[in-house]
């Protein structure tokens, strides 16, 4: 997240709605932060995880065959 900080900023340069209640000859510190995107903060679903995976996809039979082959190699 980006953050902008300006110290000793003249109140007279602020927009009118931010000057309310402040002495026009004073200086302030301004901190500006972007609000996080609510979509980015939400957890990812299992369906989205499966949709993001890349091919090749192995079938159950192919996985079983590969595991049996590896077991045979260790014997």
Rounded distance, CA 10 to CA 21, Å? 14
Phi, psi of 47 (to 5 degrees): -65, -40
Angle, vertex CA 23, rays to CA 21 and CA 24, nearest 5: 115
pLDDT in tens, 37-62: 776 767 888 888 888 887 777 888 99
Domain coordinates of the chain in residue numbers? Answer: 3-34+45-74
- 33 three-class SS: strand
pLDDT at 64 over 90: yes
Query: Is the Cβ–Cβ distance between 9 and 27 less than 8 Å?
Result: yes
Which single residue is written with the structure tokens 């049996």? 68
Residue 15 banded pLDDT, cuts 50, 70, 90: very high
């Amino acid at each position: 997240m980006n953050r902008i900080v300006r110290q000793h900023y003249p109140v007279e340069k602020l927009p009118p709605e931010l000057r309310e209640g402040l002495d026009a000859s004073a200086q302030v510190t301004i901190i500006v932060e972007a609000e996080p995107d609510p979509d980015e903060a939400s957890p990812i679903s299992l369906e989205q995880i499966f949709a993001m995976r890349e091919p090749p996809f192995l079938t159950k039979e192919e996985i079983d065959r590969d595991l049996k082959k590896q077991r045979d190699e260790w014997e």
